[in-house]
Chains A and B, each alone.
Chain A
Amino acid sequence: MNATASALLLTAPAAVPLLVAGAYALPRPRTRPTVAALPARLAEARPGVSPQGAVLVAEAPEPGQVPQRHGWDRAGLVSPVAILTCGSLLAADVVGNGPRTAYSGLLRADALTAWMLLVVGAVALIACGSAPAYLAGERAAGRAAGRTAWHYHALVHSFLAAMCLSVVTANLGVLWVAVEATTIVTAFLVGHRRTRTSVEAAWKYVVICSAGIALAFLGTVLIYYAARQAGIAEAWALDWPTLVSRADRLDPAVTRLGITLVVLGFGTKAGLIPLHAWLPDAHSQAPAPVSALMSGVLLSVAFAAILRYRVIADAALGPGFIRVLLAAVALLTLALAAGLLLAQRDYKRMLAYSSMEHMSLIALAAAIGSPLALSAALLHIAGHGLAKSVAFCASGRILQITGTARIGRVRGLLARAPATAGAFGLAVVALMAFPPFSLFASELGIARAGFAAGAGLAWATAAALLLVLVAFAALAARTARMLLGPGSPGEESPSAVGPLMLGLAACAALGVTLGPLTGLLHDAAHAIGGR
């Protein structure tokens, strides 16, 4: 593959969603506006458009004729398909030929990048695929105006662009900028309804995430300082491959402080203790497809940043330091999530705490750090992304059918809406790590790696398994309560559950065999230190 092709493949995952977002963000007349009405329309549009400066910078195709709604709904699938295509092409390339770079090292794809792009693309396909049905439901209920849908699409696609940028960049500073950008573009998605709960969730989300991620920036600055003092030139002092290859020269005391701040900071976005409080609120208030994206990939994209820093910490400080840090954070998060799952009365919050549970398992696997553990962590990222996004999309549909998010008020869903309830039930079964779903394989892998890793980590793994069992019981009891029981069948659109079934099938397929992804997963674990 020549340089132009790799530059194109590295740019497209972030650029295509940004272009789509730009196309959605363009102000467009719904009817043919008269000359007199135009200034009024512009004045009215400005306050809505100004917070989205980020999406307006993108150039967009010509706003020709008045668009058809269905065509534009389907245009939402362009970004996920582009991300998946670039991810697969990059995957095929990096497995044989090693990492690709573009723009003098600013963008870089290794096996981890390709793996994360595939996960982001797959989850985005589920979320964007079920978005039209969700928006139609909101319109039918009178909760969304015509313009809301355009804003929704513009923000979702810039969200995808920011996540892809954070995955494909090799510069740790740009990585931080991209992760912070995800907070900003999703703020209005979380607070889209302007009700009290919605505004509260959005405020907590922006304040906690911005402050938390600011700590990660301080950590980045300290690592940069250590790198400059180690004699690395300014242009390369935030370059991940350079830092990894020269990590042994970094000052240990400064690096230790920097890594601690980075783990706390990116841990905020990954839903780990101590700054996790935004997660259940934001996940329960955001529109269901956005919750799916946030829970399915945003958390793991943030965690991928920790995985990158883990390699630097391993080489600079030895494996002990980051192992203790990650294991402690993982166990505390897991204990909190399991405890709150037991007392949960809201099914979207239940799914949110289940996300914290799974992220802490991934953090535990990163703490173990053996090749098996890292492969299992990456597989868990994929499996959890697919299953959780299906669960959230189905929960959005359930919310529209029943009108309540309280577990206690939902009964007999299987009888009322068999397809949606079936998808929800199967997704929860996958999240409880039943075979054939891939979470079974990955949790088994984490457990095996943990028990093989020495006394301290074996005890940590044992404690984690006990807590997972508690979460398992809580999820099973609540979901069974919601699904079973008598109910009268209602109407249901089969098109809405298509993407969900696809996601469940992919999750199950990953659990049975990795197929062509085996080499990629192995290389990705190798790239983040599984040697």
Chain B
Amino acid sequence: MTGGLFTQLLDLACGAFLLAAVVVLWRRELAAIVRYFALQGVALAALAVLLGSHEARWDLVGVGLGIGVLRAGVLPYLMRRALSALSADGVHSEEVRETQPLVNVAASLLTAALLTLLAYAVARPLTELDPTPATRALPVGLAVVLIGFFVLVTRRRALAQVVGFLLLDNGITATAFLATSGVPLIVELGVSFDVLLAVLVLQILTARMRVAFGTTDIDDLRELHD
């Protein structure tokens, strides 16, 4: 692969990665949100495979494929299963939509733009340390981390919060790939396993929340306070 083509493909993958996060912010149907989250997983896997094939490191390509299976396959599957469990019983139309996010869509998109600018500002020392095509794309990873945090604090459906947490995690993984071609394999395995278990735990807690509160609206969690 020539240097120019590699840079273009890398930028394309990073662009798709960031765009998927923004679309997640834009859509309100939880099913659509999960679909775009899966697309982001594909972009992330493509990113890793590109970097691996550019550096001729086949272990990295393998890690990229594994990440693709986890983040574009297994995690979206778990989310969809939780969603269909929610919509299966009784009044379902409200449960599968983010009806009233804390911040409306226009303001959310504007915030995403500001967060991306912030990510570029914060990432300047990171890029300056070793300016390569990969590290120049680093701000994208940080922008997705920030957008993930934003989704986490402004969304009110339990599953939308889970997606926020996973965006955050995708952003960190992308940052790790772009900065250092990924953390050592043992750490990557541990991290993926932890993320998978965290999502399983959150899925079960969502079901329990539905039983205990009759809804998965986070705003109803107000029993504990000082």
Contact = CB atoms under 8 A, between A and B. Distances in A.
Given A187-B205, A224-B183, A343-B226, A218 B190 contact: no
Interface stretch (B5-13, B16-24, B45-53, B169-177): B169-177
Given A200-B223, A214-B165, A217-B172, A253 B125 contact: yes
Given A210-B165, A218-B172, A221-B180, A177 B201 contact: no
Contacts of B211: 194
B221 A204 contact: yes
A218 B190 CA distance: 15
A214 B169 contact: yes
Contacts of A220: 183
Interface string A24-61: 00000000000000000000000000110110000000
B102 interface: no
Interface of A is mostly: helix
B117 interface: no
Contacts of B63: none
A206 B205 contact: yes
A211 B186 contact: no
A184 B198 contact: yes
B184 A173 contact: yes
Interface residues of B, number: 45
A177 B208 contact: no
A196 B212 contact: yes
B194 interface: yes
Given A196-B223, A222-B179, A174 B208 contact: no
Contacts of B193: 54, 177
A437 interface: no
Contacts of A280: 224, 226
Interface stretch (A226-234, A380-388, A423-431, A439-447): A226-234
A184 B168 contact: no
Interface in B85-135: 122, 125-126, 128-130
A225 B180 contact: yes
A181 interface: yes
Contacts of B205: 187, 191, 199, 202-203, 206
Interface of B is mostly: helix
B69 interface: no
Contact of A200 (B130, B145, B194, B224): B224
Chain A CB within 10 Å, residue with most, of B149, B183, B200: B183
Contacts of A211: 149, 152, 165, 168
A188 interface: yes
A110 interface: no
A109 interface: no
Contacts of A285: 224
B209 interface: yes
A130 to B, nearest CB: 25
Contact of A203 (B122, B130, B175, B209): B209
B126 A257 contact: yes
B184 A214 contact: no
Contacts of B202: 203, 206-207
B187 A177 contact: yes
Most buried by A among B172, B187, B200, B204: B187
Interface string B185-226: 011001101100110111011001101110000100111101
Most chain B beta-carbon contacts within 10 A, residue among A53, A217, A254: A217
A218 B223 contact: no
Given A201-B224, A211-B149, A221-B183, 18 more contacts: A53-B200, A171-B186, A174-B186, A188-B204, A191-B208, A194-B211, A199-B205, A200-B209, A204-B221, A204-B224, A206-B198, A210-B165, A224-B176, A225-B180, A257-B122, A280-B224, A340-B226, A343-B226
The 9 closest A-B pairs by CB, nearest first: A173-B187, A177-B190, A253-B125, A225-B179, A200-B221, A221-B176, A180-B194, A281-B224, A197-B223
12 contacts: A51-B197, A171-B187, A194-B208, A195-B212, A197-B223, A199-B209, A203-B209, A204-B221, A214-B169, A217-B172, A253-B125, A281-B224
